[in-house]
Amino acid sequence: MNTALKALQLKAKQQVYTLLSGHNLSDLYGEGYDFAQLREYQIGDDIRKINWMVTAKLGKPYIKELHSNRELSVVVAALMDGSLYFNTHNNKQTKLTEVATLLSYATLQQNDLFTGLCYTQEAPWGTPPTKQIYEVEQFLTYLLESKLLYTTLAPQPAIEDIFQRIEKPSLIFLLGDFLEEVDVSLLAQKHEVIAIIIRDEEEEHPQQQGEVTLHSPKDGQTIERYFGKKSITDYLSKLHEHDKKCINHFSEHHVSHIKISTQEDALTKLLTLF
C-alpha cells in the first residue's frame, strides 16, 4: 500500500473514531415514520403531505415532514485534473484525498452506504454503493495515485454523469478546486449537495516572483512574464470574481460549501458542516 495513503488513513481513523464520534453527516428528510417538523405548504410540495387538522386550525396549509427511515446514502465525487498539481507538488491532490478519507470513514462508522466517484481525463471510476472497507480503500488509492499532471477535465459532463448515475436521493460531497464554472442546479434539486473547495495557500495568497516561467499543469504550455504586484492584483481580482460567482450559484441552489487549504486541518473545517 502507498505509504502516504496509509498515513492518511491512520490519521483519519483516529480522528473519525474519537473526535468525529457523535457528529452525523446529515439528517435527511424523506418518507419515514419519525416526525421532523411542520412547515407551511410551498408550491410543488406533495399535497398528500398536508396536515389537514393543523391547516384547519391555522387557516393556511401546513405539511408534516418526516425523518427518513432509510439508511443514508453518501456519495463522495472528486473532480480532478492537472489544476490540482499546483506549484511543484500535488499538495491539493493529497489534501483532497485526506478529505475523502475522513468522509468515507465517517460514513462507514455510521453504518451508511458509501459511493466513491472519481472524474479525471480518463473514464469515470468509482465504487458501487458499499459498506466494505476494501472498496473504500480502493477508491482512496485511486484518488491519491491518479496521474493528473497535463490532464484536463470538463466538469459539467461529470456533474451530469453524477445526476444520471446516482438515482437514490443522497448526500453528495463534490470535491475539487472549482477553478472552472460548474452548474449544480439540477443535481441540487435531486440530492443534498455540499461543495468542498480545495485550494493551495500560495494559490490564494501569491508572492511576488519577478521574472518567471509559468507552466500550465493542464496542457503543459509555458509563458514568460514578470510576476509582480500588478500581476498579483490582476490575478486575485479575477480569482475573487470567479469565486464570488461560484458561491452565489451555490447559495442560490441551497448548496453548502466550505474551502479547505492545503495548510489547514481538514477535520476542523469539516466539523463546521455537521
Closest CA to 144 of 202, 80, 204: 80
Check pLDDT > 70 for residue 68. Answer: no
Check pLDDT > 70 for residue 23. Answer: no
- The model's pTM is 0.81
Angstrom CA distances, 251 to 75, 82, 124, 205, stand at 20, 27, 28, 25
Instruction: Compute the average pLDDT of residues 132-139.
Output: 94
pLDDT of residue 33: 42
Residue 216 or 24, more confident: 216
pLDDT tens per residue, range 92-113 = 999 999 999 999 999 998 889 9
Check pLDDT > 90 for residue 53. Answer: no
- pLDDT interval class at 32 (50, 70, 90): very low
pLDDT of residue 24: 61
- pLDDT interval class at 261 (50, 70, 90): very high
Domain boundaries for CATH 3.40.50.410 within the chain = 3-21+72-270
Tell me if residue 193 falls in helix, strand or coil: strand
Instruction: Compute the average pLDDT of residues 134-161.
Output: 95
Instruction: Compute the average pLDDT of residues 123-127.
Output: 95
Cell triple for 216 = 500550465
Query: Long-range contact list for 113-116, CB < 8 A, 24+ apart?
Result: 113/71, 113/72, 113/73, 113/74, 114/74, 114/75, 114/76, 115/73, 115/74, 115/75, 115/76, 115/166, 115/170, 116/75, 116/76, 116/77, 116/78, 116/140
pLDDT tens per residue, range 171-196 = 999 999 999 999 999 999 889 999 99
Mean pLDDT in the chain? Answer: 87
Under CATH, domain 3-21+72-270 is a member of which superfamily?
A: von Willebrand factor, type A domain (3.40.50.410)
Percentage above 70 pLDDT, the chain: 90
